[in-house]
Amino acid sequence: MPTPPSPSSSWTGADMATAHATCLLVAYAPALSREDTRPMAVVHEMERAIPGLKLSWTLSDDGRFIPAPTLDSRATAKTSRGLLPLLCNGDERHFVTLARRETPASQNPGGRPQLEVHARWPLDVAGISAAAEALERIAEAAHAFWAHATPKRAAGDIAEQTSPTLAGPPSPPRGLPALKLPWDLPSPETPHRLGWLNYWSAATARRLGFPNPSLDVELLTRARRTAAGGWIVPLTDTPLDLDNPAHLGALLRAYERFPEIGGRTAFGTSGPG
């Protein structure tokens, strides 16, 4: 049996100072078809985005690293439903993972089943540098409606915007707005929430009315168009830190600009796309 790789030089040295921080990525995409090559495309694109990354390991039931099965894209296309395990890089010090799940129609906007892609990696110097490219590559390989990449700590606060509580409706922290549950949203193109780096497909951007040159001056200083016609929209130049008043303000302004996100209002008119 091969041994797990030692840390790549891309993930060592000065990067160790921020290795405790983690980026969480989630992409929401159409459900898999019977012969669907997107799972393998996502693997390859994530490996291209992060220097030195090889997702050639998985975890045993008792948490040990074991070699992942060889996943030929053609074979995977024929039997894609359920054959892609959690994949990882086999490096405990700089742990990177990629997984997917299929969610039933009852849990999704518009009553349609979806594919969710989940990834995580260290937010060290290399991980921060690769984040936007990883988001774009993974989202577009999955044909995602929308996606986000967000530091784990900020993602926890943002998740509380829709988390049900024993007392009833959610009580979001930091003055963030309460958001509807996914199955109460009108369509798959409706983002559930915002994140640090946001991917909006062309269809989602049109429905949000983004970009609007008069309303999106701040966002357009960071945003860029993707190869497939979607948008990468960062809220801040550095990883979102909600203890930073400037970062919290950017998040609140973005929610104010897009009240459709989280189902707080009906979709607005389309902007230039």
- Percent above pLDDT 70 for the chain: 82
Pairing assessment for the beta strands 87-88 and 97-103 based on DSSP bridges: antiparallel
Using pLDDT thresholds of 50, 70 and 90, give the confidence band for residue 34. Answer: confident
Kindly state the DSSP code that residue 15 receives in the 8-state scheme: G
The terminus-to-terminus CA distance of the chain in angstroms comes to: 51
Determine the Cα–Cα distance for residues 161 and 191; give it in Å rounded to an integer. 13
Determine the Cα–Cα distance for residues 113 and 105; give it in Å rounded to an integer. 4
The residue type found at 22 is T
List pLDDT tens digits, range 108-153: 998 999 999 999 999 999 999 999 999 999 999 999 999 999 999 9
Give, in order, the Cα–Cα distances in Å from 73 to each of 77, 79, 102.
Answer: 6, 10, 19
Kindly state the DSSP code that residue 81 receives in the 8-state scheme: T
Cβ(51)–Cβ(127) below 8 Å? no
pLDDT recorded at residue 166: 63
Cβ(163)–Cβ(179) below 8 Å? no
